[in-house]
């Protein structure tokens, strides 16, 4: 039976697919940690209150990257280079989504408009991350090998998703509403396309390693295309809607000490 649980179980049970999965995840989290760290350092003076929250976000992403690498070490595996076609973060940047890395490598302070771009990008991508982690929690939250890790990362992602709308609503009240909505819609359209392309690339590589039949690979690809069509028509609304979150001040300050278990 083809289900999310059986599919992911197959990936987790095979060393080479698990190695690829963790390497892709660790690379993306490490990149996110660097980006958030640089943005926190470049926050303009009038928005300095946002800097600790962004720094906390970056620290969480760095922690997640270390955890995925620890999962590999626990299995006696080494990371592999991330295939370019599976590099979600860099593919988004190439589509002009988020703040360019060249900009983040300078010491010039960001503008409030730059922060809108950053927060809109985070709002959209954290929606995806939360949904993926909730799916993993549903099927693997009690897994003896990765369950604790999945639950902890899922809780962090919920915090990240909570603070983005809260800060965007604050900036909307300060007069940036139209800019925020325009940026959110552009980010969402680009993200769903990149997510489709990355999903197809990852499944193709997993299928080759696991020896999937052509019929099974075609069925999975059709499912990915169907999700993309739905999201392009109506599903992306969940990414651009702004509501005050139940978790207020979810990233209110520096992260406290937390066990980095794997």
The domain spans of the chain are: 4-240
Cβ atoms of residues 251 and 156 within 8 Å: no
Nearest CA among 20, 152, 195, 213 for reference residue 8: 20
What is the per-residue pLDDT for 251?
A: 85
Query: Is the predicted pLDDT of residue 53 greater than 80, yes or no?
Result: yes
**Reported CATH class of domain 4-240:** mainly alpha
Burial of 142 (0-12, 13-18, 19+ CB in 10 A): exposed
Q: What is the CB neighbour count within 10 angstroms for residue 69?
A: 21
pLDDT band (50, 70, 90) for residue 1:
low
What is the per-residue pLDDT for 141?
A: 83
Query: Is the predicted pLDDT of residue 175 greater than 70, yes or no?
Result: yes
The pLDDT mean for the chain works out to 92
What is the per-residue pLDDT for 261?
A: 39
What is the per-residue pLDDT for 213?
A: 96
Tens of pLDDT, residue by residue over 179-199, are 999 999 999 999 999 999 999
Tens of pLDDT, residue by residue over 66-99, are 999 999 999 999 999 999 999 999 999 999 899 9
Mean pLDDT throughout 227-249? 93
Indicate the pTM of the whole model: 0.91
Cβ atoms of residues 70 and 262 within 8 Å: yes
What is the per-residue pLDDT for 88?
A: 95
**6: CB partners within 8 A, 6+ apart:** none
Mean pLDDT throughout 24-29? 95
Tens of pLDDT, residue by residue over 106-139, are 999 999 999 999 999 999 999 999 999 999 998 8
Nearest CA among 114, 113, 241 for reference residue 181: 241
Give the integer Cα–Cα distance in Å for 97 and 82. 20
Angle between helices 4-13 and 112-140 (to 10 degrees): 90
**Structure tokens, 261:** 């278990």
Tens of pLDDT, residue by residue over 34-49, are 999 999 999 999 999 9
> Which residue did the predictor score with more confidence, 55 or 4?
55
């Amino acid at each position: 039976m083809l289900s999310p649980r059986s599919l992911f179980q197959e990936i987790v049970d095979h060393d080479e697919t698990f190695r690829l999965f963790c390497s892709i995840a660790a690379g993306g989290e490490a990149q996110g940690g660097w980006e958030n760290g640089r943005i926190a350092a470049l926050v303009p003076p009038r928005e300095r209150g946002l800097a600790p929250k962004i720094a906390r976000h970056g620290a969480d992403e760095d922690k997640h990257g270390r955890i995925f690498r620890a999962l590999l070490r626990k299995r006696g595996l080494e990371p592999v280079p991330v295939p370019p076609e599976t590099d979600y973060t860099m593919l988004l940047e190439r589509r002009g989504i988020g703040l360019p890395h060249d900009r983040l490598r300078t010491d010039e302070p960001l503008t409030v408009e730059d922060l809108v771009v950053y927060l809109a990008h985070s709002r959209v991508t954290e929606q995806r991350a939360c949904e993926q982690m909730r799916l993993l929690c549903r099927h693997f939250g009690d897994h003896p090998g990765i369950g604790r890790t999945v639950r902890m990362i899922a809780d962090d992602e919920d915090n990240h998703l909570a603070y983005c709308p809260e800060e965007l609503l604050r900036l909307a009240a300060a007069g940036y509403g139209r800019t925020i909505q325009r940026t959110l819609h552009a980010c969402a359209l680009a993200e769903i396309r990149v997510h489709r392309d990355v999903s197809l690339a990852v499944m193709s590589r997993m299928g080759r390693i696991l020896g999937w039949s052509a019929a099974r690979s075609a069925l999975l690809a059709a499912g990915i295309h169907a999700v993309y069509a739905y999201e392009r028509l109506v599903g992306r609304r969940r990414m651009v809607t702004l509501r005050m979150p139940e978790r207020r001040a979810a990233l209110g300050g520096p992260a406290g000490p937390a066990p980095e278990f794997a």
